[in-house]
């Protein structure tokens, strides 16, 4: 027998080997094993379900973070304006005057804060801010801010012993915190107002379509801070209108869907 095997090897023939029959269970395991490491349909469905669950848990958290960041930004910008107003009072002895044009559907939104806090000069009947970022004709002031407003208190002028030096109390503004708005009928700016780029129910815009959510300011008859001033802004966050104001540490919900 062994001699035959050796003869077959010498002649290049393969020796006979007894085949061991595989069990039916072993054949089923081999057939069930996926080829090439691919996922089965059930495995894919499980992965998709897990991703959907994780997304459902993550989206509300991300939305909450975005809302908190928006509110924090508004409060930070408000603190910047408040600090400037207090500096103004410390130097001039009173808060900046507000303005209320009769018939204005948004009282306290159009105010003189930008000019008063940045300081102005008056030459040839034109008021200019000290940084030359805004100007307004003297004759137009009563039409924009109301008949009681004839000019600005924080304005430099010469006159011997009565010379007045204007000062800038507001520092660090970026280009999205103020806007020279128009009235829609003309491209000429009506006035420059302080505000924010944050969305809100009320926005002003310029001739190019840039928008600004204005700060409201009331120093003549403040209802929430009787001894100082009311400063607030309404912003749109999370499908609600929140009021960021200087009489509440927490945002006030003005309206909800």
17 inside domain: no
| Full pLDDT tens readout for the chain, 257 residues | 555 555 555 555 555 555 555 555 555 555 555 555 677 888 888 888 888 887 777 766 666 778 899 999 999 999 999 999 999 999 999 999 998 887 778 889 989 999 999 999 999 999 999 999 999 999 999 988 989 899 999 999 766 556 689 999 998 999 999 999 876 555 566 899 999 999 999 999 887 889 999 999 999 999 999 999 999 999 999 889 999 999 999 999 998 65
Pairing of strands 240-245, 230-237: antiparallel
User: For the chain, what is the largest distance between any 2 Cα atoms, rounded to a whole number of angstroms?
Assistant: 135
193 inside domain: yes
pLDDT at 224: 97
235 inside domain: yes
pLDDT at 222: 95
- Give the C-alpha separation, 192 to 214, whole Å: 10
CB 67 within 8 A of CB 74: no
Phi-psi region of 176 (alpha: psi -120 to 50; beta: other; left: phi over 0): alpha
Burial of 174 (0-12, 13-18, 19+ CB in 10 A): exposed
Angle (CA) 171 69 203, round 5°: 65
Domain range for 124:
73-255
109 inside domain: yes
83 inside domain: yes
124 inside domain: yes
pLDDT at 190: 84
220 inside domain: yes
Give the sheet arrangement for strand 252-255, strand by strand. 216-218, 230-237, 240-245, 252-255
Q: Looking at the 3D structure of the chain, how many domains does it have? A: 1
pLDDT at 126: 94
Nearest to 168 by CA among 113, 94, 233, 98: 113
pLDDT at 52: 81
90 inside domain: yes
């Amino acid at each position: 027998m062994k001699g035959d095997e050796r003869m077959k090897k010498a002649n290049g023939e393969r020796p006979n080997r007894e085949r061991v029959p595989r069990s039916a269970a072993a054949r089923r395991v081999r057939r069930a094993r996926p080829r090439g490491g691919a996922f089965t349909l059930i495995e894919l469905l499980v992965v998709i379900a897990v991703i959907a669950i994780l997304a459902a848990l993550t989206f509300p958290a991300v939305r909450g973070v975005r809302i908190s960041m928006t509110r924090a930004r508004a409060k930070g910008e408000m603190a910047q304006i408040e600090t400037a107003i207090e500096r103004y009072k410390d130097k001039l002895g009173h808060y900046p005057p507000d303005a209320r044009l009769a018939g204005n559907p948004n009282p306290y939104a159009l105010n003189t804060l930008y000019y008063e806090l940045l300081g102005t000069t008056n030459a040839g009947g034109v008021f200019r801010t000290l940084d030359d970022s805004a100007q307004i004709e003297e004759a137009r002031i009563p039409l924009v801010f109301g008949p009681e407003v004839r000019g600005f208190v924080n304005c430099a002028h010469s006159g011997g012993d009565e010379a007045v030096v204007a000062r800038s109390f507001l520092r660090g503004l970026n280009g999205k915190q103020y806007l020279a708005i128009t009235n829609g009928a003309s491209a000429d700016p009506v006035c420059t107002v302080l505000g924010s780029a944050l969305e809100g129910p009320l926005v002003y815009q310029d001739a190019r379509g840039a928008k600004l959510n204005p700060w409201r300011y009331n120093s003549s008859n403040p209802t929430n801070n009787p001894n100082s001033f009311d400063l607030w802004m309404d912003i749109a966050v999370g499908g609600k209108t929140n009021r960021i104001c200087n009489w509440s540490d927490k945002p006030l919900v003005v309206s909800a869907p």
